[in-house]
Structure 1
Amino acid sequence: MALLPGTSLAAEEPAVAAIGASSGSLVGQLLQLALGLAVVIGLIFALGYLMRRVGPLAPQGGQHIKLVSSLPLGPRDRLLLVDVGGTQMLLGTSPGRINTLHVFEQPVADLAAAAAGNGDFGRKLQALLKRGADS
């Protein structure tokens, strides 16, 4: 390596070390970015899976059609018990098809009892929270 007059080999070493350090930190930053992106994408998929399994959490008041119960039969097939204006129907669903399996003359599930059970849980939870706050 030819040196120009007035330059020394010691002056070039910090520049090479700085280039090596910046490329190492660049690789570290890219790795951290990729890991963060993978975590965010994983959370999106996990929340999507949970929302499919749990269903909508918002109350659906004021509707004439209510889903009373659901039973998965396989990855894409399920049985649904639906209340339409006081008449309960058992439906079989699969991709692209919905079949009425049975229409019940008498309601199988009591919707008022299910709603009261949810309210009862809410009252118990409020009582527990108040008791914990008083302690």
Structure 2
Amino acid sequence: MGFDTHTKNLTRALLTVGLLSVAAMPAWAQQPGPGPLSGGGSDYFKLTLTLIFIVGLIFACGWLVRRMAGGTSFNNRHIKVLSVMPLGTREKLMVVKAFDDYLLLGVTTNNINTLHRFDEPPDLTETPLTSPFADRMKGLLKGLDSDPLAKHQKNAKNRSNSGD
């Protein structure tokens, strides 16, 4: 299996950064000194600086990989999750736009199933309906003891009349 030009350039850049980082390592990190049991405070200081240098090198390599790859692995221009509805702790429904297709997917821990393919883009701007229980709880939390069931039925009638 051959590498394409982009992968070769990325590999070459990573090797160059690795070699330069080893060559540019501070001289104090390579000098032999007293053993680790000497109890000198400067040994801990050198160890701390070396660890900070290594962690910084890891972050720099990560930044360089993303910069050289152009962010293609993190680029989500063609696939977007439009809506998610959890059904359980590990199951959910998702509306996904993949290129020009709109899909309803069922996602579980073991697989992903296409449940429906929309012919036209779904309207996701509609506000969700509230339940009478939710209205009742809001009223109780506010200290109001109104009749939320009547309010909910009134809202449902208004929505059905506006659709005609």
Q: Name the TM-score, length of structure 2 as normaliser.
A: 0.29
> Where is the strand percentage greater, Structure 1 or Structure 2?
1
Answer with 1 or 2: which has the greater Rg: 1
